[in-house]
Amino acid sequence: MDHHKQVEVEIGDDFCIEVDEGLEDIIKNLLLWDLDTCNCCIDYKGSTWIEFCDFQDWEQFLQLTLRHHIAQGSNRSTLWDFLQEKADVKLVFDEELREDPNQEVIGTGVLLICVGLFFPREDLEEFRELFFEVFPPV
């Protein structure tokens, strides 16, 4: 597996994360909009991958993107159009796990649904431009 250059991103006064260089502004802004991500990557099989940790975060992302698209009318391309034309989505589901005091991993019975957004690596700059129209820095 290829290793990608990571950069540290400060979120607030006491929280830092490491993300692939080139995604830091997008990921930081998603977190500031209360949209959690995990496992985000550039160059994943020639793609950019942004994973939303919770299905509700993905739904909120799409809802805000759709509202912006409707407000813009059909005059120009929007992030909604980009998602429709250039992106793929993959659902990832599993059971929440935890470690017990005996260092065993056990299931909790809680379903986790993450959503992975893929688009071609060469379209990252177009995504970034359209993304910040919908999600301006807060």
Mind listing the pLDDT tens digit for each residue in 22-74? 888 998 899 889 998 988 888 767 899 999 989 999 999 999 999 999 999 87
In a domain, 101, yes or no: yes
Residue 94 near residue 115, CB atoms below 8 Å = no
Residue 70 has which token pair?
Answer: 């409707």
In a domain, 33, yes or no: yes
In a domain, 24, yes or no: yes
Q: What is the largest CA-CA distance in the chain?
A: 60
pLDDT of residue 50: 92
In a domain, 31, yes or no: yes
> For 86-118, b where at least 16 C-beta lie within 10 A, e where not — what string?
ebeeeeeeeeeeeeeeeeeeeeeeeeeebbbbb
In a domain, 100, yes or no: yes
Question: Which residues constitute the domain of residue 33?
Answer: 6-134
Distance, CA of 77 to CA of 48 (rounded, Å)? 20
**Structurally, how many domains does the chain consist of?**
1
In the predicted structure, residue 1 carries a pLDDT above the cut 50: no
In a domain, 123, yes or no: yes
What is the per-residue pLDDT across 69-100, written as a single tens digit (0 to 9) for each? 999 987 789 999 999 999 999 998 887 777 77
Positive or negative, the CA dihedral 112, 1, 50, 8 is positive
In a domain, 1, yes or no: no
CA angle 107, 52, 94 (to 5 degrees): 20
